[in-house]
């Protein structure tokens, strides 16, 4: 059932996006983007509920279970909410994506926080590894854990914690953030408060 819902939402979303573009009907395109977001959320919800997700193609698949599948599900849900937000903003007539971008330039706390959370989730996924990463000869599995999973995972944890802290600092104390150099983006894009 999950697969049918995901495929139906995804294909309908693609058809609406293409149809809206061909027929010059932006509302169809907005609906298509919203359906793509809902398809992403359905994939994420399945991963969280079943604690199992398969990522990849026919030729190279990675099967994640447990905490790694939940982290992937959360990432898909955040992506889905983002696409829904884009569709709503476009429907409500926000002049351009540049307006939203400039708002984030003035107050970058939320994007920095989300980036940090994505880094932490990806670190969990990377360190946990897929089922295929844990198969094979013992020394290859251990080498794979140390070199290609643990080291990048620790780097992502450090980046994620730093970004989460910086994002929270900007949200809680935006003036202090700007005084410490956070207003650099505003100067770069030539905008003021």
Cβ-based neighbours of 33, under 8 Å, separated by 6 or more: 13, 17, 83, 86, 87, 90
In the predicted model, is pLDDT for residue 193 greater than 60?
no
The predicted-structure confidence for 38-48, as pLDDT tens digits, reads as follows 999 999 999 99
Give the residue, 32 or 96, on which the prediction is more confident.
Answer: 32
Mean per-residue pLDDT, 171-186: 83
User: Count of CB atoms within 10 A of residue 46's CB?
Assistant: 20
Q: Tell me the domain boundaries of the chain.
A: 1-94, 95-193
Residue 64, strand partner residues: 53
Query: How far, in Å, CA of 183 to CA of 80, rounded?
Result: 30
CA distances from 120 to 18, 76, 82, 152, 170 (A): 35, 14, 18, 11, 19
Three-state secondary structure string covering the chain: CHHHHHHHHHHHHHHHHHHHHHCCCHHHHHHHHHHHHHHHHHHHHHHHHHCEEEEECCCCEEEEECHHHHHHHHHHHHHHHHHHHHHHHHHHCCCCHHHHHHHHHHCCHHHHHHHHHHHHHHHHHHHHCCCHHHCCCHHHHHHHHHHHHHHHHHHHHHHHHHHHHHHHHHHHCHHHHHHHHHCHHHHHHCCCC
CA distances from 168 to 7, 20, 100, 120, 185 (A): 37, 39, 20, 15, 18
Query: How far, in Å, CA of 30 to CA of 42, rounded?
Result: 18
Percent of the chain residues topping a pLDDT of 90: 49
The predicted-structure confidence for 68-127, as pLDDT tens digits, reads as follows 999 999 999 999 998 998 888 888 876 566 777 777 888 888 889 999 999 999 999 999
State the pLDDT at residue 175.
87
């Amino acid at each position: 059932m999950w697969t049918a819902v995901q495929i139906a939402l995804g294909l309908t979303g693609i058809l609406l996006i293409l149809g809206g573009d061909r027929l010059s009907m932006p509302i169809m395109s907005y609906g298509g983007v919203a359906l793509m977001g809902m398809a992403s959320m359905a994939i994420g919800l399945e991963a969280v509920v079943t604690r199992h997700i398969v990522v990849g193609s026919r030729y190279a698949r990675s099967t994640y279970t447990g905490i790694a599948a939940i982290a992937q599900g959360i990432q898909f849900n955040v992506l889905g909410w983002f696409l829904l937000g884009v569709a709503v903003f476009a429907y409500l007539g926000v002049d351009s994506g540049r307006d939203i971008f400039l708002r984030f330039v003035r107050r970058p706390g939320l994007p920095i926080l989300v980036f940090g959370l994505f880094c932490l989730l990806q670190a969990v996924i990377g360190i946990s590894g897929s089922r295929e990463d844990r198969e094979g000869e013992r020394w290859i599995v251990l080498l794979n854990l140390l070199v290609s999973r643990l080291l990048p995972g620790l780097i992502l944890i450090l980046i994620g914690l730093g970004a989460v802290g910086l994002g929270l600092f900007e949200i809680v104390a935006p003036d202090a953030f700007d005084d410490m150099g956070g207003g650099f983006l505003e100067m770069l894009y030539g905008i003021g408060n």
